[in-house]
A and B are shown apart, each in its own frame.
Chain A
């Protein structure tokens, strides 16, 4: 069984540009979660999808961040425009009714 995959694994962009991160959950998993770890700080929850619906987006930092999950399959997280403080590791997890499986994350560097 394929695990949760994320790409790109690493992205370097300039301040003001747009970046789109992608998460492919395990097939059949309705729940998809996005987290991020900003440099040197703890991991923070961003949002939770149940299928294509946003169940909880209380962790989204501001309106520069847009998450979508069209069709309830893969999800994208767009940052537009990116700021320096957005640098960090963004990772996702998916689950069905039981435990979650985590992706290895995308390292975003904004310069």
Chain B
């Protein structure tokens, strides 16, 4: 079955710098890749998603890239701000079937 690996598990970046979180998946049939952000004490929320027919998607300071050949996708946050501190989860879904989540990355934005 599908397996999603997420790295790093913890990431600290200086405020204003960029942060990159990477995920790999095992099933080449995966076609939908959402990213979730969970702030402390709050529920996970969808922040951006990408489908397999697109290589990159951007929404303000957040972007996601997908490399289908290598079976990996990444979340990029530019000009990081304190409110970006949270746990981020990637996920992969196969043809509207099960959604497999990564184990999360705890992002710390340092002042």
Contact = CB atoms under 8 A, between A and B. Distances in A.
A3 to B, nearest CB: 10
Interface string B34-71: 10001011011110010000000000000000000000
Given A42-B49, A98-B87, A100-B38, A89 B44 contact: no
Interface of B: 34, 38, 40-41, 43-46, 49, 87, 89, 91, 93, 96-101, 104, 106
Contact of A40 (B45, B96, B101): B96
Interface in A19-36: 31, 33
Interface in A68-111: 88-89, 91, 93, 95, 97-100, 102, 104-105, 107
A18 B49 CA distance: 32
B101 A102 contact: yes
Given A43-B99, A89-B99, A33 B43 contact: yes
Given A37-B96, A104-B98, A104-B99, A31 B43 contact: yes
B8 to A, nearest CB: 14
Most chain A C-beta atoms within 10 Å of own C-beta, residue among B38, B87, B96: B96
Given A43-B49, A56-B43, 18 more contacts: A9-B98, A42-B34, A43-B34, A89-B97, A89-B99, A91-B98, A91-B99, A93-B43, A97-B40, A98-B40, A99-B38, A99-B87, A99-B104, A100-B43, A102-B99, A102-B101, A105-B98, A105-B99
Which 9 pairs of residues, A with B, have the shortest CB-CB distance?
A99-B87, A102-B101, A99-B104, A105-B98, A39-B96, A104-B98, A100-B44, A33-B43, A48-B43
Interface in A41-66: 42-43, 45, 48, 56
Contact of B43 (A9, A45, A104, A107): A45
